[in-house]
Amino acid sequence: MKILRAIAGLMVAVALTACTTTDAGSATESKDTDTSHTAPEIVISPLPDGAQAPTFTSAWASEFEAAYRGSTSDLQRTILADETITDQELAALQDAFTTCLSSRGYTDISFASNGGFSERAPAGTSDDDENATVQTCEDIAWGSQGGLTYGLYFEVARNPARQDESEIMVACLVRQGLVDPSYTAEDYVSDSASGAPPFDPASVEFRECNANPLTAGTR
């Protein structure tokens, strides 16, 4: 079983949650018993040389352009072109990933609400081979560099206007009662780097802020 790697745009928050095991840690692998499957030929359709990316203008424009230029399928490019990734389009990306893994003999593929996923590899699959297959299917279904298109859905949903990460995290921590109102964004960055914050990164309240910094603690 594997957990999706942390989304690149959330590194400040992830730095404090790496010591926990629910979202960022690894889980025990489980293997299927069917060893007869042979993987089909891998097909990737990258952006043709010289092709132009659309003009993106949102707060996430640079990430959409990077995802478009690193795309590996027409599906990804169609999804990215209007600078919006809908729930239905997310499902299409997950279906593409599931199809890729299933064609290689993987089963029990499921997705968590935070973007993580789990899968069952064929019996006898080594860790290295499993990791390589998962990475290959991420590249095929979600784009190069760790699946940029897939990750963008969660980054944009978490922080649509791309407000300063440290500032929205601190505002949430204050709402959740984890820090005093005098705690600053600079304090948060420093504590993230040192790994010694004045709150418990494993607490439910912090994890709520990490997942939804704009809405956690508002009800």
171-211 residue pLDDT tens: 999 999 999 999 999 999 999 999 999 999 999 999 999 99
Instruction: Judge if pTM exceeds 0.85.
Output: no
Give residue 147's pLDDT.
80
Q: Taking every pair of C-alpha atoms in the chain, what is the biggest distance, in angstroms?
A: 61
Residue 25 sits at the vertex; the CA angle it makes with 126 and 42, to the nearest 5 degrees, is 45
Give residue 40's pLDDT.
44
pLDDT below 50 — which residues of the chain?
A: 1-15, 17-41
Give residue 41's pLDDT.
47
